[in-house]
Structure 1
């Protein structure tokens, strides 16, 4: 049985449901930006007398609390019931409101944005389905206006935003207040996971299979007086190691500063693949009483001679999965990545005064 302070409570239309057989709550920068909950029940809600009294259904607005702390404000998107002569169960899926930008496509009305920033464009696109978008931390270059951007018919709102975020080296993650755009990890959390103390199990992957160097982004610009300035722009990022050039075409037009941000974004995703891990800890709460999912993007120290080439390393928390079941108890999977994997010092300087094009082929 879970501890009283480790209960998952779902509230819909004033009715509270808390007798879940299994609980899984996920928040991650590595997936589509949706906080996601999957629950199964064989024993019914606190006020229900039979399985048929579990009235949650797709479309119901709900809030989810873990250990009394708000984890999600969203909607039921899935109800799946199964029964035979020996057993019965209901599975409930819940997603945050940000799921609207995953399911819906751009309106193409007006379909084109001129001289607007990433914040302005994505906020306008997401607001049409009731989702907020906020860039935090004032990343250099993030407020550089796009000269002209067009929506593509049939493109998901999330994919449209991701296309533009790549040009400003901005990553996205879901939150209680909507989608957050960011670059780099948050402050060091002070949290530690230590083998033999609070680590149940773990896995850490360090690899160079995906390492490339240099990363070159080629693009073009427009509206400059010089045709040479329009003809070719370029950004270059480096991941030291083997010389294995990787060249890409930019999704949008832009000057050298914009191409440099796009190259840094590509570098971030390579670094995310080069370092990957997941470590399980008991319970859902950290030592200060906050949920582990509240610490996504923060830096953590892992102390594990069994998993690491050195006794201790620092990682960024790229995601969290809170779990609960009668078999596995109440645990949290902390998903790890390189501290540079979202631009944490890994971006070459962005010179905003570099408005020129005319870069030669690398």
Structure 2
């Protein structure tokens, strides 16, 4: 029995690796990851003798044999009196540099380049590798905007390709579509279930029965004026009363197909965000020994409120340790709630022409 307890303790031992040394024995732990958060973060605290950890150090955070964060120490706080010395250490993933720092690439414009190529060059000065999953066709034209951070520029790239930026446990930037991380064990609230507590919110706020998206295109000689005057797309949510109608004007030029895609996204995304669930389970691991983690699909059943088993995305995971014990808190939502909004693709021909025109103007002063 003692050997089993020791093995379990070792499996869930939290270690901060800094400057070739391992620091463990943390009394308070909070580590958080999210499918749409560009940088994981952590806060660890312990009361003991002084430890030579300073802000800015490269670090890794592990739970047993599972790495959770690769990044840097942001803050180190010491508090002490005649009897005790407490140290609080917090930090974020390596991708935090992309959130904090301005984009300074020169000349700062990419014509006809893939999302992977542009993201590599933006993140390159910070030593952050990038993985783009399903980046699609080359982006006709991407230019840095005055004063924007690297991540703000990356968000615009993601919007063009319906991707979401996050990081992985190795500190790499991942541009992905949430929900591709496999499956997790089932979660059950009620008698005999594994959920300690849950908050389940159903909302119809900002939801509509009918979504009408209207757009307008620039005219061309070969285009039908009736088609380009006001292309429209519609979608419905049958779970909402029929007199609720939303009319949305596309932010930029959009044809009928784009309007229809936007309408379907509005209906699915708003319906997805109408179900918001947060659950807390004991420990950090599933029944098979894997850590609970983000970007997986789980089945959630709530016998207390009568919610049948529903497939949901683990959108955020927070691992904690403190006075209440060792816990995992997870935010769950339908996958549609985290699908990125479709945007109007820039016409490649127009983009190419615009690039040539800019080059000509530069040559002629």
CA RMSD, 1 decimal = 3.6
Please report how far the alpha carbon of residue 214 of structure 1 lies from its aligned counterpart in structure 2 after TM superposition.
Answer: 2.0
Which blocks of at least 5 consecutive residues in structure 2 are unaligned? Answer: 351-365
Alpha-carbon distance change, 254 to 181 in structure 1, aligned in 2, over 3 angstroms = farther
CA distance in 1, matches of 2:307, 2:106: 54
**Matching residue of 1:40:** 45
**Mapping 1:73-92, distance limit 5 Å:** 73-84=70-81, 88-92=85-89
Alpha-carbon distance change, 233 to 164 in structure 1, aligned in 2, over 3 angstroms = farther
- Residue 97 (str. 1) matches residue 94 (str. 2): yes
Alpha-carbon distance change, 83 to 101 in structure 1, aligned in 2, over 3 angstroms = same
**Matching residue of 2:288:** 288
Please report how far the alpha carbon of residue 197 of structure 1 lies from its aligned counterpart in structure 2 after TM superposition.
Answer: 2.4
- Residue 300 (str. 1) matches residue 298 (str. 2): yes
Give the TM-score normalised by the residue count of structure 1: 0.79
Tell me, yes or no, if the aligned pair for 1:21 and 1:41 is still in contact at 8 Å: yes
The correspondence for 2:35, drawn from 29, 43, 46, is 29
Q: Which segment drifts farther, 64-73 or 212-221?
A: 212-221
Tell me, yes or no, if the aligned pair for 2:213 and 2:262 is still in contact at 8 Å: no
CA distance in 2, matches of 1:232, 1:78: 56
**Matching residue of 2:180:** 186
CA distance in 1, matches of 2:165, 2:67: 20
CA distance in 1, matches of 2:332, 2:124: 31
**Mapping 1:1-362, distance limit 5 Å:** 3-31=9-37, 33-43=38-48, 50=49, 52=50, 54-84=51-81, 88-136=85-133, 138=134, 142-177=135-170, 178-186=172-180, 189-195=183-189, 196-212=192-208, 213-214=210-211, 216=213, 218=215, 236=233, 238=235, 240=237, 241=240, 242-250=244-252, 270-271=270-271, 273-293=273-293, 296-307=294-305, 309-325=306-322, 327-343=323-339
Please report how far the alpha carbon of residue 81 of structure 1 lies from its aligned counterpart in structure 2 after TM superposition.
Answer: 1.8
Please report how far the alpha carbon of residue 233 of structure 1 lies from its aligned counterpart in structure 2 after TM superposition.
Answer: 9.1
Please report how far the alpha carbon of residue 164 of structure 1 lies from its aligned counterpart in structure 2 after TM superposition.
Answer: 2.3
CA distance in 1, matches of 2:325, 2:92: 23
Give the TM-score normalised by the residue count of structure 2: 0.78
Computing the radius of gyration over CA atoms, which structure comes out larger, 1 or 2?
Answer: 2
What SS does structure 2 have at the residue aligned with 1:165? Answer: helix
Please report how far the alpha carbon of residue 221 of structure 1 lies from its aligned counterpart in structure 2 after TM superposition.
Answer: 7.3
Please report how far the alpha carbon of residue 117 of structure 1 lies from its aligned counterpart in structure 2 after TM superposition.
Answer: 2.5
Count of residue pairs the alignment pairs up: 332
Alpha-carbon distance change, 146 to 351 in structure 1, aligned in 2, over 3 angstroms = closer
CA distance in 2, matches of 1:82, 1:217: 59
Deviations 1:55-76 (A, max 9, x none): 1111111111112211111111
Deviations 1:155-189 (A, max 9, x none): 11111111221232212221034122222522651
**Matching residue of 2:360:** none
CA distance in 2, matches of 1:218, 1:159: 26
Please report how far the alpha carbon of residue 220 of structure 1 lies from its aligned counterpart in structure 2 after TM superposition.
Answer: 6.1
Higher helix share: 2
Tell me, yes or no, if the aligned pair for 1:305 and 1:312 is still in contact at 8 Å: no
CA distance in 2, matches of 1:19, 1:205: 37
CA distance in 1, matches of 2:96, 2:14: 21
What SS does structure 1 have at the residue aligned with 2:245? Answer: coil
Which blocks of at least 5 consecutive residues in structure 1 are unaligned? Answer: 44-49, 358-362
What SS does structure 2 have at the residue aligned with 1:244? Answer: strand
What SS does structure 1 have at the residue aligned with 2:122? Answer: helix
Alpha-carbon distance change, 277 to 126 in structure 1, aligned in 2, over 3 angstroms = same
CA distance in 1, matches of 2:159, 2:265: 6
Tell me, yes or no, if the aligned pair for 2:281 and 2:329 is still in contact at 8 Å: yes
What SS does structure 1 have at the residue aligned with 2:10? Answer: coil
What SS does structure 1 have at the residue aligned with 2:140? Answer: strand
